[in-house]
Amino acid sequence: MRIGIGYDIHPLTAGRKLVLGGIEIEHEKGLLGHSDADVLIHSVCDALLGAAALGDIGLHFPSRDDAYKDEASTNFLRAVAALLRRNGKEIENIDSVIIAQRPRLSPFFDRMRETIAATAGIHIERVNIKAKSPEGIGSIGKGEAIAAYSVALLTDLPKE
């Protein structure tokens, strides 16, 4: 078994769509970044890559590469899951927490879980998502940013 942790944070800005867990959520601001800036999927990718000792999301999808400009982060997760399989690893579970003052995210957890599970090619029961409020503390608490942490457990695929 191998365990990895991932973290990501992006500022909120007007004029962008808010995408978390591969789904669009209605909000007056969206996350600023080179891709769609989906902090949840970015943290999941980093947790998976870390568990497999395969670097991080910036190594595989660098923000300096225009090929990834405005890219859907679900494409990153799909590629990471395929890379893990090629390296003989199976995703056992993903557990994530989103830190946001607003919007209220619990109504979207099931759709986020479905999207992450389908994109990674795993059963939905292997994906968990939670949200926590920073209670008005710091830049996230002031509604200036959203962050996410993820932990992933990998095992070796059965040898053929």
Round to whole Å and give the CA distance between 140 and 100: 6
Is residue 31 within 8 Å of residue 16, measured between CB atoms? yes
Phi, psi of 155 (to 5 degrees): -130, 170
What pLDDT is attached to residue 135? 94
Per-residue pLDDT of 16-41, as tens digits, reads: 999 999 999 999 999 999 999 999 99
What pLDDT is attached to residue 38? 98
Is residue 36 within 8 Å of residue 17, measured between CB atoms? yes
Per-residue pLDDT of 42-85, as tens digits, reads: 999 999 999 999 999 999 998 888 888 889 999 999 999 999 99
Round to whole Å and give the CA distance between 94 and 3: 10
Cis amide bond preceding 103, omega within 30: yes
What pLDDT is attached to residue 104? 94
Is residue 76 within 8 Å of residue 92, measured between CB atoms? no
* Fold classified for 2-155: 60s Ribosomal Protein L30; Chain: A; (3.30.1330)
What pLDDT is attached to residue 65? 85
Q: Does the pTM of the predicted model rise above 0.85?
A: yes
